[in-house]
Amino acid sequence: MDSIEILERLIAFPTVSRDSNLDLISYVAGLLEAHGIASQIIHSEDGHKANLFATIGPAGGAGVMLSGHTDVVPVDGQDWTLPPFEMTARDGKLYGRGAADMKGFVASALAAALKAAKMELKTPLHLALSYDEEIGCIGVRSLVEMLRAAPRKPALCIVGEPTAMQVATGHKGKIGAHAICRGREGHSALAPLALNAIHLGCDFVAALRKEQDRLARDGARDGDYDVPYTTVHVGRMNAGVALNIVPNLCRIDFEIRNIAADNAEAILERIRKEAARIASEASSIAPEAAIDIEVFNTYPGLDTPTNSEAVAFVKSLIGANGTIKVAFGTEGGLFSRDVGTPTVVCGPGSMAQGHKPDEFVSVEQMQRCDAMLDKLLERLVAGIA
């Protein structure tokens, strides 16, 4: 099977992050087994989802790992003109949810694995497929732990997120957190005698905006990013029951996306101190006033040196001269930090098409990815990697 045939099968599995990916994993495991490739399936704690890891070639070697996630974002509320979970080929483009982000690369990686099964590799090829990447690189953690415990780690990892087949050496890290603002309820006719949690929340959001202004003005810079500094963003604010009730609770979801030169924990600590100050001032109205911050997700950034052997190797596979950095996060930071495997990001398609209705990857991009992986296999046969 070629990569486009495999992509058609992969798109047909509606692996939205809130749902199971087991049918897709079962398909992949069966496809690999039919070509003599054994795979290891690592289930989530509830058994509802799974990662897959497979090795082709000599056991015990370091090798090259191809990494991709199997989950996709929802299509709810999006105005698709084509069926999202059926691949549609039209005018040199392959449409379907996940075509760009990132089942296109997974399909190319699987096609390469099937080719590799017929070759005498001197250096192994590893395939790592994960779940729940779209909600914060959650599922890959058990796979990372498995690799940390392995006697030999992969010498190189290529994460195939869509970069239009450019070599990306970095992305920002992320902290996702809830701020729970607690006030005192009351009748709106007596609002000054209560403590409006929404007002507390607005003061907290103002503090976040002040921190963002400081980072934009005085923070570290990395000109390889479209936004060259660390960002603080509020994504959601929930509060209130009825107009005539002063709300006693307000929840704010916010994030920090930091460049490598900034310490995200130090930024979060400044935010915590501001939250404590705001709550302390409000305690004169209601002693129970509080703003509690809880981190619900975090992953490290990626910052692979552009002059490293790993980067030079991947550049040689595609004939690239330069490198880029990407705005979105990947599991690459975890492989780099926690496993110690040099990692780059390079895959077909563009994130400009990801997460949108009528998502697509072009046939030309798939062909370029296939060509890159064909060259990789040549190196693995020669034992160069």
| In contact, 121 and 59? CB cutoff 8 Å | no
Query: Which long-range contacts link 279-288 to residues 24+ away (Cβ below 8 Å)?
Result: 279/200, 282/183, 282/195, 282/200, 285/184, 285/195, 286/183, 286/184, 286/194, 286/195, 288/182, 288/183, 288/184
Read off the tokens for 296. 């619900």
d(CA 95, CA 300): 31
Structure tokens at 216: 């934009």
**Helix, strand and coil percent figures for the chain, each rounded to 5:** 35, 25, 40
Active site residue 5: no
Q: Which of 8, 71, 255, 262 is catalytic?
A: 71
C-alpha 49/C-alpha 159 separation (Å) is 20
Alpha-carbon distances, residue 129 vs 171, 244, 326 (angstroms): 20, 51, 21
Active site residue 23: no
CA 60 to chain centre: 28
The DSSP code sequence of 338-355 is II---EEE--SSBTTTTT
CA distance 239 to 77: 23
Q: How far apart are CA 294 and CA 254, in angstroms?
A: 10
Buried b (16+ CB within 10 A) or exposed e, 52-76: bbbbbbeeebbbbbbbbbbbbbebe
Alpha-carbon distance values, 354 to 73, 91, 98, 104, 176 (Å): 9, 18, 7, 11, 21
Among 8, 133, 203, 211, the one annotated catalytic: 133
CA distance 208 to 68: 33
Residue keyed to tokens 């780059």 = 344
- Measured from the Cβ of residue 81, the count of other Cβ atoms closer than 10 Å reads 8
Cβ neighbours of residue 149 closer than 8 Å, sequence gap 6 or more: none
CA atoms within 13 A on the CB side of 303: 12
Residue positions annotated with a catalytic role: 71, 133
